[in-house]
Amino acid sequence: MDTQRQAPRTLRADAAQVLTSDLGWLSRMLARRFTAELDLALAPAGLSNTQFGLMCLIASAPDDTLGALALRAGLNQSTMSRNVDQLAGAGLVEVVTAESDRRRRAVWLTETGALCLERAFALWLPANQALSARLGPELLGLLGDGAGNAPGSAQVAAAHGQDGAGDV
Protein backbone atom coordinates (compact mmCIF):
# COMPACT_ATOMS: atom_id res chain seq x y z
CA MET A 1 0.00 0.00 0.00
CA ASP A 2 1.50 3.28 -1.17
CA THR A 3 0.80 6.21 1.03
CA GLN A 4 1.96 9.59 -0.03
CA ARG A 5 3.23 11.78 2.70
CA GLN A 6 1.99 15.29 2.83
CA ALA A 7 4.53 17.99 3.40
CA PRO A 8 4.30 19.27 6.95
CA ARG A 9 2.37 22.47 7.31
CA THR A 10 4.36 25.49 8.32
CA LEU A 11 3.39 28.96 9.34
CA ARG A 12 5.26 30.33 6.31
CA ALA A 13 3.32 28.09 3.90
CA ASP A 14 0.00 28.86 5.61
CA ALA A 15 0.70 32.61 5.45
CA ALA A 16 1.66 32.41 1.76
CA GLN A 17 -1.59 30.55 1.06
CA VAL A 18 -3.57 33.35 2.75
CA LEU A 19 -1.98 35.96 0.49
CA THR A 20 -3.27 34.16 -2.60
CA SER A 21 -6.77 33.36 -1.33
CA ASP A 22 -7.93 35.89 1.30
CA LEU A 23 -10.61 38.05 -0.30
CA GLY A 24 -10.06 40.94 2.11
CA TRP A 25 -6.33 41.07 1.35
CA LEU A 26 -6.78 40.63 -2.41
CA SER A 27 -9.49 43.30 -2.61
CA ARG A 28 -7.30 45.78 -0.70
CA MET A 29 -4.36 45.09 -3.03
CA LEU A 30 -6.57 45.62 -6.06
CA ALA A 31 -8.04 48.78 -4.54
CA ARG A 32 -4.55 50.16 -3.91
CA ARG A 33 -3.56 49.56 -7.53
CA PHE A 34 -6.74 51.16 -8.86
CA THR A 35 -6.38 54.08 -6.47
CA ALA A 36 -2.77 54.68 -7.53
CA GLU A 37 -3.80 54.84 -11.21
CA LEU A 38 -6.72 57.16 -10.48
CA ASP A 39 -4.58 59.34 -8.19
CA LEU A 40 -2.18 59.82 -11.09
CA ALA A 41 -5.03 60.80 -13.43
CA LEU A 42 -6.49 63.25 -10.89
CA ALA A 43 -3.18 64.88 -9.92
CA PRO A 44 -3.58 67.80 -12.38
CA ALA A 45 -6.78 68.75 -10.52
CA GLY A 46 -4.92 68.68 -7.20
CA LEU A 47 -7.08 65.86 -5.81
CA SER A 48 -6.50 62.28 -4.78
CA ASN A 49 -9.02 59.63 -5.72
CA THR A 50 -10.11 59.54 -2.08
CA GLN A 51 -10.81 63.28 -2.07
CA PHE A 52 -12.54 63.04 -5.45
CA GLY A 53 -14.80 60.24 -4.20
CA LEU A 54 -15.65 62.15 -1.03
CA MET A 55 -16.48 65.28 -3.03
CA CYS A 56 -18.73 63.18 -5.30
CA LEU A 57 -20.40 61.78 -2.20
CA ILE A 58 -20.99 65.29 -0.87
CA ALA A 59 -22.20 66.66 -4.22
CA SER A 60 -24.70 63.82 -4.68
CA ALA A 61 -25.91 63.57 -1.08
CA PRO A 62 -29.66 63.80 -0.48
CA ASP A 63 -28.82 64.44 3.20
CA ASP A 64 -25.84 66.76 3.73
CA THR A 65 -25.18 65.99 7.40
CA LEU A 66 -21.88 64.47 8.46
CA GLY A 67 -23.72 61.54 9.99
CA ALA A 68 -25.57 60.74 6.79
CA LEU A 69 -22.40 61.10 4.71
CA ALA A 70 -20.53 58.81 7.09
CA LEU A 71 -23.27 56.20 6.88
CA ARG A 72 -23.31 56.35 3.07
CA ALA A 73 -19.52 55.98 2.93
CA GLY A 74 -19.43 53.16 5.48
CA LEU A 75 -17.33 55.22 7.92
CA ASN A 76 -17.82 56.42 11.44
CA GLN A 77 -18.49 60.12 12.01
CA SER A 78 -15.04 60.80 13.46
CA THR A 79 -13.28 59.49 10.35
CA MET A 80 -15.69 61.32 8.05
CA SER A 81 -15.14 64.53 10.02
CA ARG A 82 -11.34 64.28 9.63
CA ASN A 83 -11.68 63.70 5.88
CA VAL A 84 -14.16 66.57 5.43
CA ASP A 85 -11.96 68.89 7.51
CA GLN A 86 -9.11 68.37 5.03
CA LEU A 87 -11.38 69.43 2.16
CA ALA A 88 -12.62 72.39 4.19
CA GLY A 89 -9.04 73.46 4.86
CA ALA A 90 -8.45 73.51 1.10
CA GLY A 91 -11.57 75.67 0.60
CA LEU A 92 -13.37 72.94 -1.35
CA VAL A 93 -16.25 72.36 1.08
CA GLU A 94 -18.04 74.37 3.73
CA VAL A 95 -19.03 72.87 7.07
CA VAL A 96 -21.81 74.57 9.00
CA THR A 97 -23.16 73.80 12.46
CA ALA A 98 -26.94 73.89 12.75
CA GLU A 99 -28.15 76.58 15.15
CA SER A 100 -30.99 74.40 16.42
CA ASP A 101 -28.70 71.46 17.23
CA ARG A 102 -25.01 72.29 17.72
CA ARG A 103 -24.10 68.59 17.31
CA ARG A 104 -25.44 68.54 13.76
CA ARG A 105 -23.02 69.63 11.03
CA ALA A 106 -23.90 69.99 7.36
CA VAL A 107 -21.42 69.88 4.47
CA TRP A 108 -21.59 71.14 0.90
CA LEU A 109 -19.21 72.04 -1.90
CA THR A 110 -18.03 75.62 -2.21
CA GLU A 111 -18.02 77.24 -5.65
CA THR A 112 -14.29 76.49 -5.81
CA GLY A 113 -15.01 72.90 -4.83
CA ALA A 114 -17.69 72.50 -7.51
CA LEU A 115 -15.35 73.86 -10.20
CA CYS A 116 -12.54 71.61 -8.98
CA LEU A 117 -14.88 68.60 -9.03
CA GLU A 118 -15.96 69.37 -12.61
CA ARG A 119 -12.32 69.54 -13.72
CA ALA A 120 -11.46 66.38 -11.82
CA PHE A 121 -14.41 64.52 -13.33
CA ALA A 122 -13.08 65.23 -16.83
CA LEU A 123 -9.72 63.75 -15.79
CA TRP A 124 -11.20 60.81 -13.91
CA LEU A 125 -13.62 59.63 -16.60
CA PRO A 126 -11.12 58.34 -19.20
CA ALA A 127 -8.92 56.79 -16.50
CA ASN A 128 -11.88 55.01 -14.94
CA GLN A 129 -13.11 53.85 -18.36
CA ALA A 130 -9.67 52.38 -19.09
CA LEU A 131 -9.66 50.50 -15.78
CA SER A 132 -13.21 49.29 -16.41
CA ALA A 133 -12.24 48.03 -19.87
CA ARG A 134 -9.33 46.07 -18.38
CA LEU A 135 -11.68 44.44 -15.88
CA GLY A 136 -14.34 43.54 -18.41
CA PRO A 137 -18.10 43.85 -17.95
CA GLU A 138 -18.57 40.66 -15.94
CA LEU A 139 -16.00 41.44 -13.26
CA LEU A 140 -17.03 45.10 -13.22
CA GLY A 141 -20.63 44.04 -12.59
CA LEU A 142 -19.56 41.73 -9.77
CA LEU A 143 -17.55 44.50 -8.13
CA GLY A 144 -20.47 46.92 -8.37
CA ASP A 145 -22.90 44.35 -7.01
CA GLY A 146 -20.55 43.44 -4.17
CA ALA A 147 -19.97 47.05 -3.16
CA GLY A 148 -23.69 47.82 -3.27
CA ASN A 149 -24.74 44.78 -1.29
CA ALA A 150 -21.97 44.68 1.29
CA PRO A 151 -22.76 45.94 4.77
CA GLY A 152 -21.31 49.38 5.47
CA SER A 153 -17.80 49.19 6.90
CA ALA A 154 -18.82 51.58 9.68
CA GLN A 155 -21.31 49.07 11.04
CA VAL A 156 -18.84 46.20 10.65
CA ALA A 157 -16.02 48.25 12.20
CA ALA A 158 -18.25 49.33 15.09
CA ALA A 159 -19.16 45.70 15.74
CA HIS A 160 -15.44 44.92 15.99
CA GLY A 161 -14.48 48.00 17.98
CA GLN A 162 -12.58 49.66 15.10
CA ASP A 163 -12.90 53.20 13.79
CA GLY A 164 -12.68 52.56 10.03
CA ALA A 165 -9.87 55.13 9.77
CA GLY A 166 -8.46 55.68 6.35
CA ASP A 167 -11.20 53.87 4.50
CA VAL A 168 -12.21 56.87 2.46
In tens, the pLDDT along 48-99 reads 999 999 999 999 999 889 999 999 999 999 999 999 999 999 999 999 987 7
Which of 34, 31, 75 shows the shortest CA–CA distance to 57?
A: 75
Name the domain count of the chain: 1
The pTM (predicted TM-score) of the whole model is 0.76
- Dihedrals φ, ψ of 93, to 5°? -135, 160
Task: Report if residue 67 sits inside a domain.
Answer: yes
Task: Report if residue 9 sits inside a domain.
Answer: no
User: Which residue range forms the structural domain that includes residue 86?
Assistant: 48-155
How confident is the model at residue 8, as a pLDDT?
A: 74
Task: Report if residue 6 sits inside a domain.
Answer: no
How confident is the model at residue 3, as a pLDDT?
A: 64
- Contact, 59 vs 69, CB < 8 A? no
> Running DSSP on this structure, what letter comes out for residue 65?
B
CATH number, domain containing residue 67: 1.10.10.10
Task: Report if residue 18 sits inside a domain.
Answer: no
Q: Which helix (H) or strand (E) holds 93?
A: strand 93-97
Q: Measured over all CA atoms, what is the biggest interatomic distance in the chain, rounded to whole angstroms?
A: 83
Q: Check whether 127 has a pLDDT greater than 70.
A: yes
Give the pLDDT confidence of 10-51 residue by residue, as tens digits.
Answer: 999 999 999 999 989 998 999 999 999 999 999 999 999 999
Task: Report if residue 25 sits inside a domain.
Answer: no
How confident is the model at residue 91, as a pLDDT?
A: 97
How confident is the model at residue 2, as a pLDDT?
A: 59
Task: Report if residue 73 sits inside a domain.
Answer: yes
How confident is the model at residue 157, as a pLDDT?
A: 39
Q: Check whether 163 has a pLDDT greater than 60.
A: no
Task: Report if residue 142 sits inside a domain.
Answer: yes
Contacts (Cβ under 8 Å, ≥6 apart) of 75? 83, 153, 154, 164, 167, 168
- How far, CA to CA in Å, does 119 sit from each of 45, 52, 65, 153? 6, 11, 25, 29
Task: Report if residue 35 sits inside a domain.
Answer: no
- Contact, 18 vs 25, CB < 8 A? yes
